[in-house]
């Protein structure tokens, strides 16, 4: 539920506030939407946050992140200047990873080592659940009260409630289980040695995984953020386009659990390669089918594999580097996604402004996924899916 609130309010429901804020303050939509660039701040704070989580556990990070998000939402009704909006957005996005993917990755890996794939998938379904429910609930709040301020107060209250629940409920296994050198997970053994930053810089496996994950994140910043506009551009009604996104989110929930389950049987690296190839097929179908009935199948296919990506990322890191330094390594890898967040929207914008459509941007992302697949396959062939030992 923490992930549902964090992702749903930050990404999926963002558009509901654009028009009310523009009417209230006279800000242009460009100025309002520019606050999304603070998503990059979440990438930059990730190494620091991940290191703290390895030292002190998931609970302090999760609770403090939810509290920071609650404060960021609660203060928005007091805004009077544009810079207030940007500062509060920085608070929100800076705490985003700490409220969602970081604690989930650590806690699932520690508590459910033998079924971590499917449990991770079910946990990460919260992202899609937030996308399905938060826009509706926030829309009702804005509509019933005719005030965007009330909607933000509700979201702030929900974040505060989840922070309290997390403080009471969240705990970790005994220390000796975390300190084990190797953790047996189904048919594989996770190396649980301690990794330092200087050790990561000597690991080709680290570079391969970091680059693949960075390229994979273009699915959010270039495809997901602009596919609605693409559908409207090819004469699909806004209602049908919105339903296509609903299909995408729903199929993504199934993708997380099903591909997560397969990571319990085979190496996560191979499952991630399947995820990338599936997204390539979905993108091609979306571009080729146009506005025919097959677009529903294309969105279902793309959503299935795109949704699984978010669950596979922490599983891939754990498979390759173990659990003990998960936060530190996940934090460093997440920092590379500042490239995806920074250049993804620009790539889509240039494609549309220069060529009149998003097709070239989508094709370039499909090529990126092909490169990511090759990189993971190379790492498999050259490293035999084993992490280098660090003393």
In percent, how much of the chain has pLDDT > 90?
Answer: 26
Which structural domains are found in the chain, ordered by start?
Answer: 1-174 (1.20.1250.20), 180-385 (1.20.1250.20)
In tens, the pLDDT along 41-72 reads: 777 888 888 888 888 888 899 899 999 999 99
Q: Is the pTM of this model over 0.95?
A: no
Q: Which of 177-191, 210-224, 255-269 has the lowest mean pLDDT?
A: 177-191
In contact, 99 and 115? CB cutoff 8 Å? no
Angle at 117 between CA 374 and CA 119, to 5 degrees: 145
In tens, the pLDDT along 121-162 reads: 888 777 777 766 776 777 788 777 778 888 889 889 988 998
Is the dihedral angle over the CA atoms 102, 106, 111, 114 positive or is it negative?
Answer: positive
3-state secondary structure (DSSP) of residue 264: coil
The better pLDDT of the pair 108, 11 is held by 108
In tens, the pLDDT along 150-159 reads: 888 988 998 8
- Run of H or E residues at 188: strand 188-191
3-state secondary structure (DSSP) of residue 183: strand
- For residue 273, pLDDT over 90 is answered with yes
- For residue 385, pLDDT over 50 is answered with no
CA–CA distance, 321 with 319 (Å, rounded to integer): 6
Residue count (the chain): 391
């Amino acid at each position: 539920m923490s992930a549902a609130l964090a992702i749903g309010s930050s990404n999926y429901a963002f558009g509901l506030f654009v028009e009310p804020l523009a009417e209230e303050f006279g800000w242009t939509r460009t100025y309002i939407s520019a606050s999304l660039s603070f998503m990059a701040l979440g990438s930059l704070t990730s190494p620091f946050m991940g290191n703290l989580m390895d030292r002190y556990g998931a609970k302090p990070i999760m609770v403090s992140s939810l509290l920071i998000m609650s404060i960021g939402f609660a203060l928005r009704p007091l805004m009077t200047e544009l810079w207030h909006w940007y500062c509060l957005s920085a608070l929100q996005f800076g705490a985003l990873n700490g409220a969602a993917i970081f604690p989930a990755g650590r806690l699932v890996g520690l508590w459910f080592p033998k079924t971590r794939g499917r449990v991770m998938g079910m946990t990460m379904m919260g992202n899609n659940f937030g996308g399905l429910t938060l826009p509706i609930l926030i829309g009702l709040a804005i509509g019933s009260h005719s005030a965007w301020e009330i909607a933000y107060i509700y979201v702030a209250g929900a974040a505060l409630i989840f922070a309290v629940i997390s403080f009471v409920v969240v705990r970790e296994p005994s220390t000796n289980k975390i300190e084990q050198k190797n953790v047996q997970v189904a048919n594989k053994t996770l190396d649980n040695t301690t990794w330092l930053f200087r050790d990561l810089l000597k690991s080709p496996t680290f570079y391969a995984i970091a680059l693949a994950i960075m390229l994979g994140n273009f699915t959010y910043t270039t495809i997901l953020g602009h596919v609605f506009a693409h559908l409207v551009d090819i004469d699909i009604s806004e209602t049908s386009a919105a339903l296509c996104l609903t299909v995408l989110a729903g199929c993504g929930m199934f993708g997380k659990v099903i591909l997560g389950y397969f990571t319990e049987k085979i190496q996560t690296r191979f499952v991630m390669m399947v995820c990338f190839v599936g997204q390539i097929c979905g993108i091609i179908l979306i571009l080729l089918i146009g506005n025919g009935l097959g677009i529903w199948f294309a969105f279902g296919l793309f959503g299935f594999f795109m949704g699984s990506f978010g669950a596979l990322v922490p599983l891939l890191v754990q498979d390759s580097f173990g659990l003990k330094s998960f936060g530190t390594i996940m934090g460093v890898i997440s920092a590379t996604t500042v490239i995806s967040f920074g250049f993804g929207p620009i790539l889509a914008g240039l494609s549309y402004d220069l060529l009149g459509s998003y097709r070239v941007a989508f094709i370039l992302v499909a090529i990126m996924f092909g490169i990511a697949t090759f990189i993971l396959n190379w790492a498999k062939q050259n490293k035999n899916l084993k992490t280098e030992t660090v003393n």
